[in-house]
Amino acid sequence: MNVMDIFATMEYGPAPESAAPALQWIKERQPFGLFINNQWVTPASGQYIDSINPANGKALAQVAAANSADVDAAVAAARTAFETWGKTPGHVRARYMYAIARHIQKHSRLLAVLEALDNGKSIRETRDLDIPLVARHFYYHAGWAQLMSSELPGYEAVGVVGQIIPWNFPLLMMAWKIAPALAMGNTVVLKPARYTSLTALKFSEIMQEVGLPPGVVNILTGEASQVGEALVRHPDVNKIAFTGSTDVGRSIRRATAGSGKKLSLELGGKSPFIVFDDADLDSVVEGVVDAIWFNQGQVCCAGSRLLVQEDIADTLINKLRVRMEKLRLGDPLDKAVDMGAIVSPGQLKEIQRLVAQGVEEGAVMWQPSWACPTEGYFFPPTLFTNVAPSTSIAQVEIFGPVLVSMTFRTPAEAVALANNTRYGLAASVWSENINLTLDIAPRLKAGSVWINCTNMFDASSGFGGYRESGFGREGGKEGLYEYVRPAWEAQGKAQHAIVTNGAATSGEKTFEGMQSIAPEDDDEQTNEHSAWPANGGNGTTDLLPPIDRTPKLFIKGKQVRPDSGYSRDIVDPQQRVIGQVGEGNRKDIRNAVEAAHAASGWTNGTTHNRAQILYYIAENLAIRENEFARRIAQQTGRPLVDASGEVEVAISRLFSYGAWADKFEGVVHRPPLRGVVLAMNEAIGVIGMACPNEYPLLGFISLVAPAIAMGNTVVVIPSQQSPLSATDFYQVFETSDLPAGVVNIITGDRDTLCQVLADHDDVDAMWYFGSAEGSKLVELASAGNMKRTWVNYGHLRDWLEAEQGEGEEFLRESTQVKNIWVPYGE
Amino acid sequence: MTTTKRRTGNEAQSETIQQPAAIVHPERNPGMPLDMEWVSRVHINRSAVERRAATMSTRRTVKKEWQAAWLLRAITCIDLTTLAGDDTPGNVLRLCAKARQPVRPEILQGLGANSLNVQVGAVCVYHNLVPVAVEALRGSDIPVAAVSTGFPAGQNPMEQKLAEIDASVKAGAAEIDIVISRAHVLTGNWQALYDEVRAFRLACGDAHMKTILATYELATLRNVGMASLVCMMAGADFIKTSTGKEPVNAVLPVGIVMVRAIRDYYEQTGFKVGFKPAGGIRSAKEALDWLILMKEELGNDWLHNTLFRIGASGLLSDIERQLSYFVTGHYAAAHYNPMV
């Protein structure tokens, strides 16, 4: 082209970033080995795989294919390194991490070019977004290493962490995984994605450059089926952190069930992008570009569902089409393209398949008129209109540059459409009315809500999902807890817990205890037996049989008979039957979950009100302190004074959560933008919980109180062995203004009922304090809807001790953090 | 990307890119009645606009021949300006000479662009110097623009403003850069703003009117967007960011708001209004950023000086320096390029 011609046409020309330095770097090093103990190691299999440049389909480099033997070696290296790294002072770790951040910046262009070559994303994105965010992540977490001892007292590193990352943001996802892990004193074995290992290998060199102690970070390239699988199942790995598809996340949840491995999953999404009619529509258009055509739409939190208020839908769609005509797609190393290549032929085929399906389902597809390169794996930006919520393209994560649009009439309908998905990763809300946006944001089921912006990320602000988008957060202080555990747990001083009735089923039952359920007379305090004699000491009831008490189930604020029509005997340690409770079943659980959902007013109510009710429950329990103490003694055989102690702790605990109800507040993050990020602790929703067998009252209160204090509604399976404290509690709830459905109690066989709860797709979290087998059962079944789980793997905790029995751990399990990004400025 | 194939059929081809080289003068914007319902629908999100501004020039760039060609185009869009208290016929004559021959002939030769007859878009001066400039540019088709209506503050009586326009037009100014009364915007008196600009437009007659918003003094981007619309409704041929005398003058976020208003107006009325960023644009890179903005948000029609001007003085020197580098492969000393 000559200058005169270009002067006339004013077209763009090529603006290539040179690949030469990066190609030279590859040439000098390949085939790449595995990075174990700060050494480059030949893979045990001797096998290598090609890394492909998706922009031309040609091999870029050969990288090692690790197998389970390599995983063993890397985990062993990490375990050895952990012995010292875990004890290394925070300041020393901070120095290393600061050095990593500096080195990322020093090699920023090489990393950016490698990433663009390997992944197919544009150099603009790798240069301006990926790599700066990587450096920022290490700077930020270097700070947490420095502050860990003062800001996270009582917590310790988890140990050896296995990390598996996706191909869409190879280096950035690695930073999100490695930075918090190292900051908290863990060591790492990380598997990059099959298609995109090169920046991880450059990162390995940086580990050598900064002199990180050997074994702290180990990088294993290769196939997921070999490396990922072995890592997930490795017995000496203490935690798995995974980012990727929901399907794989689900299988990891199942594979690790019952193993005691900590788990954080950042999975798929079908995020809504909501536009109200008073939005700045031209800015909305750019927002859509950033939402769905960023990284070719291969973004887990991509705003892939455009929800537009009906009156502006045509205007916005027209603007979008005009904008799409101007998008430029091509060589990822061209500095003037908006979109590069799709990562692999397989991914391209999947996008094509889903788009064809969308057309078949009757949606209207539109693509810009310009040409798309045929060499390499490219797919043009695509817009679907006339999309019904029921179609597959409206439901399925496409993971490509494909936007589906729908219209809504009212804010309520916008929320309903937005939440009409299994996922809950992110959402974007556009309106110039701050009242409207701040009203909508808390109602969206999403871990990140971006107001008048989209795809905003920063190390200071946690990122992660609701629902089937996974659990755990990355970034912010909230993300650190994924890489620590309570020190008491690590030190193994779990319990001097009293465990009674271990063999409750053995021996012959008798029914003599039945006649003396919960005597009302305070004079009986001196009686040291748990089962009370039929003839109370005061002589007035000598000839009268006691009035029968029949604890039913407690659903929707009412005492209801079990659906089964069966009852089960409750015995004391002497095998005397001291009562009978309803045998709950599947339908009772179903009804209880429905009741818990219907009580959502509790979630939206004020924290002050919740605090008042918790105090009121404590007040009403205190009135009946003796009765509850006797019941504990009766069920457990423990001395009355001991049982009284349990009641007193329970009352105190209710006060604790009454106190916390309006104090477990979120924080305001300050990422580098003019605005704020509100990290709100939100209720999870409906929590199913199985209470420990021991401490029939305190175990029950310790779980129910934090959950409802944070605004959850619960379905509780009380102590299977000693449920009468919970069933006695119906009356306390009934006299304490607790709204119907907030607490629902189903007695019966714990693990059978837990299976139903954990299988239930409308239960958002499951807590389980029972056996190791039951813990596994709960984690396995919870994989269905990726519900959050909190289980004890059969380990006991000392419920009497505040350190183990109450506090922030319980509050964190009761909440999930939503980060609401609010840029401002007029 | 060695091979590309067009995915779509012939119908799409008709709307593609090759632009006719010939400059088509757009039909002049006649204005329209003030439509407050439309004006009140203006919504501007500042943070989002700033994000767009920040990525405008990271998403697009031109290199090598493309950059040289674009810079030549930028020169043709410059309103070469001097607006100082110490302006005399002497420095205005020098400016006009530079306007006729903005690039050294050997550089044009090196670019293969001798036949382009590159010259700037206009020369812009105060009223008193209009006759000097008109005389100096006689024989060229470079128009003279006069700043007017109590430039830069616009705090003169209305009769004086109208008289000033009239005098400049009579003196031979083909373009009048008026300033609006910022008070009308800040007090929300859109009718007064409309009436004022309408009166200016009538006073301009055949002279083209550029409407200076002095955006910094309008305080918010929403005010900028609303004022842009009202001025176009009142018949502005161009809307212009700044006088060059405000603390902050032409910056991209403001430009984005104004060109989007132009796009909106065009879509609603069919009339193309021009845009002129002025003040603070000193480097070749910035000039390219503004051209990219025009191309991306408005399209190639707005890359001609019929619809796009850059108000600047020092800019030309930097562009010449960049072109010299392109031709020679090394950077020229400042004194190699004839001063403005």
Predicted pLDDT at B14: 41
Could you tell me if A263 and A248 are in contact, meaning their C-beta atoms sit under 8 angstroms apart? no
Tens-place pLDDT, residues B230-253: 999 999 999 999 999 999 999 999
DSSP lists the bridge partners of residue A570 as A579
Q: Which domains are delineated in chain B?
A: 31-332 (3.20.20.70)
Alpha carbon of B299: minimum distance to chain A alpha carbons (Å): 9
Span A672-716, pLDDT tens digits: 999 999 999 999 999 999 999 999 999 999 999 999 999 999 999
Q: Is B88 on the interface with A (CB under 8 A)?
A: no
Strands B144-147 and B122-125: parallel
Q: What is the pLDDT at residue A535? A: 44
Q: Looking at the DSSP assignment, which residues form a beta bridge with residue A191?
A: A164
pLDDT of residue A499 exceeding 60, the answer is: no
Give the residue among A576, A591, A696 at the shortest CA–CA distance from A638.
A696
pLDDT, position A789: 98
Which is the catalytic residue, given B240, B272, B289, B318?
B240
What average pLDDT does the structure give for chain B?
93
CB contact (8 A) between residue A128 and residue B21: no
Specify whether the CB–CB gap between A691 and A703 falls below 8 A: yes
pLDDT digits (tens, 9 = 90+) for B32-79: 999 999 999 999 999 999 999 999 999 999 999 999 999 999 999 999
Nearest CA to A739 among A619, A600, A590?
Answer: A600
Indicate yes or no: CB of A7 within 8 angstroms of CB of B4.
no
Bond into A573 cis (ω within 30):
no
Q: pLDDT, tens digit, for every residue of B78-112? A: 999 999 999 999 999 999 999 999 999 999 999 99
Prediction ipTM score = 0.94
What percentage of chain B exceeds 70 in pLDDT? 93
User: Under a CB-based contact definition with an 8 Å cutoff, are residues B214 and B249 in contact?
Assistant: no
pLDDT for the residue B104: 93
Band of pLDDT at residue A507, cut at 50, 70 and 90: low
Token code pair at residue B60: 């697009």
Return the structure tokens found at A413: 């309908």
Q: How many residues would you count in chain B?
A: 340
Query: What distance in Å separates the CA atoms of residue A70 and residue A65, rounded to the nearest whole number?
Result: 9
- Whether B15 has a pLDDT exceeding 50, the answer reads no
Distance CA B169, CA B127 (A): 9
Separation between Cα atoms, residue A108 and residue A126, nearest integer Å: 9
What residue spans of chain B are helical by DSSP H? 10-13, 36-39, 46-59, 64-76, 89-100, 105-111, 130-136, 158-170, 182-186, 190-204, 221-233, 252-269, 284-297, 315-328
**pLDDT higher than 50, residue A504:** no
The interface residues of chain B toward chain A in range 213-252, judged by CB-CB distance below 8 A, are: 220-222
pLDDT above 60 (res B205): yes
Mean pLDDT of all residues belonging to chain A: 94
Between CA A74 and CA B211 the distance in angstroms is 69
The pLDDT assigned to A512 comes to 65
**Best CA proximity match to A604, nearest among A729, A443, A735, A450:** A443
DSSP at A512: G
Q: What's the pLDDT score for residue A748?
A: 97
Q: Tell me the per-residue pLDDT of B107-130, one tens digit each, with 9 for 90 and over.
A: 999 999 999 999 999 999 999 999
Q: Which long-range contacts (CB under 8 A, 24 or more apart) does A83-90 make?
A: A84/A213, A85/A182, A85/A185, A85/A186, A85/A187, A85/A213, A85/A215, A85/A216, A86/A156, A86/A157, A86/A159, A86/A185, A86/A186, A86/A187, A87/A185, A88/A185, A88/A213, A89/A149, A90/A145, A90/A146, A90/A147, A90/A148, A90/A149, A90/A185
Residue B5 a catalytic site member: no
Residue-wise pLDDT for A7-25, tens only, equals 999 999 999 999 999 999 9
Distance in Å, alpha carbon of B279 to nearest chain A alpha carbon: 23
Q: Is B50 on the interface with A (CB under 8 A)?
A: yes
- pLDDT at residue A544 in the model: 85
pLDDT of A515 reads 55
Q: What is the Cα Rg of chain B in Å?
A: 20
Average pLDDT value for residue range A346-356: 98
Quote the tokens at residue A218: 């180990």
Which residues have a Cβ under 8 Å from the Cβ of B291 and sit 6 or more positions away?
A10, B70, B73, B74, B77, B303, B308
A550 — pLDDT class (breaks 50, 70, 90): confident
pLDDT at A527: 43
Q: Please state the separation of Cα A7 from the chain's center in Å.
A: 55
The verdict on a CB contact (< 8 Å) between A13 and B12 is no
Distance of CA A691 to CAs A738, A752, A770, B158, B261, Å?
20, 14, 7, 83, 63
Using the predicted structure, report yes or no on whether residue A618 has a pLDDT greater than 80. yes
Burial B122-146 (b: 16+ CB within 10 A, else e): bbbbbbebbbbbbebbeeeebbbbb
C-beta atoms of A369 and B4 within 8 A: no
Which DSSP helix (H) or strand (E) runs through A208?
helix A198-210
Q: A341 and A55 in contact (C-beta within 8 Å)?
A: yes
Distance from CA of B295 to the nearest CA of A (A): 9
Reported confidence tier of residue A409, pLDDT bands at 50, 70, 90: very high
pLDDT at A161: 98
**Given pLDDT bands bounded at 50, 70 and 90, which one contains residue A534?**
very low
E-assigned strands of A276-350?
303-309
Q: What percent of chain B has pLDDT over 90?
A: 90
Q: Using a CB–CB cutoff of 8 Å, tell me whether B52 touches chain A.
A: yes
The tokens 């859509």 sit on which residue?
Answer: A288
Report pLDDT for A489. Answer: 87
pLDDT in tens, A417-432: 999 999 999 999 999 9
Mean pLDDT of A457-484: 97
3-class DSSP state for residue A143? helix
Catalytic residue list contains A627: no
Alpha carbon of B208: minimum distance to chain A alpha carbons (Å): 25
Mean of pLDDT values over A531-547? 57
Identity at A191, one-letter amino acid code: K
d(CA A742, CA A736): 12
Q: To 10 degrees, the CA torsion angle through A273, A276, A280, A281? A: 70
Reported confidence tier of residue A493, pLDDT bands at 50, 70, 90? low
Out of B3, B19, B73, closest to residue A374 by CB: B3
Residue A619 pLDDT level (bands cut at 50, 70, 90) = very high
pLDDT digits (tens, 9 = 90+) for A802-814: 999 999 999 999 9
Sequence-ordered list of residues with C-beta below 8 angstroms from that of B216, at least 6 positions apart, any chain: B242, B246, B247, B248, B249
User: Which of B2, B44, B73 is nearest residue A7 as measured by Cβ atoms?
Assistant: B73
What pLDDT does residue B20 have? 44
Residue A283, beta-bridge partner list:
none
Residue A477: per-residue pLDDT: 97
Mean pLDDT computed over A306-316 = 98
In this structure, of A40-54, A310-324, A492-506, A692-706, the range with the lowest mean pLDDT score is: A492-506
Euclidean distance between CA atoms A278 and B43, whole angstroms: 7
Q: What pLDDT was estimated at residue A397?
A: 97
Compute the distance between CA of residue A637 and CA of residue A647 in angstroms, rounded to an integer.
Answer: 15
pLDDT-based confidence at A492, cuts 50/70/90? low
To the query of whether residue B240 is one of the catalytic residues in this protein, the response is yes
Gap between the Cα atoms of A513 and A533, Å rounded:
7
pLDDT tens string A97-120: 999 999 999 999 999 999 999 999
* Residue A496 pLDDT grade (very low, low, confident, very high; cuts 50, 70, 90): very low
Residue B10: what pLDDT?
A: 42
End-to-end Cα, chain B, rounded Å: 43
B307–chain A Cβ distance below 8 A for any pair: no
Instruction: Write down the H helix ranges in A485-575.
Output: 487-490
Beta-carbon contacts of A44 under 8 Å, excluding residues fewer than 6 positions away, are: A66, A67, A69, A70, A73
Q: What is the 3-state secondary structure (H, E, C) of A645-694?
A: HHHHHHHHHHHHHHHHHCCCCCEEECCCCCEEEEEEEEECCEEEEECCCC
Question: What is the per-residue pLDDT across A214-250, written as a single tens digit (0 to 9) for each?
Answer: 999 999 999 999 999 999 999 999 999 999 999 999 9
pLDDT digits (tens, 9 = 90+) for A145-201: 999 999 999 999 999 999 999 999 999 999 999 999 999 999 999 999 999 999 999
The pLDDT tens digits for B310-320 are: 999 999 999 99
pLDDT at A226: 94
β-sheet bridge partners, residue A675: A823
pLDDT at B334: 84
pTM of the model: 0.94
Cα gap A188→A200, rounded to integer Å: 13
pLDDT tens profile A258-271: 999 999 999 999 99
Query: CB-CB: which of B44, B51, B65 is closest to A6?
Result: B65
**Radius of gyration (C-alpha) of chain A in whole angstroms:** 29
Q: Are A674 and B68 in contact (CB < 8 Å)?
A: no
User: Tokens for A278?
Assistant: 């008073």
Report residue B338's pLDDT band, with 50, 70 and 90 as the boundaries.
confident
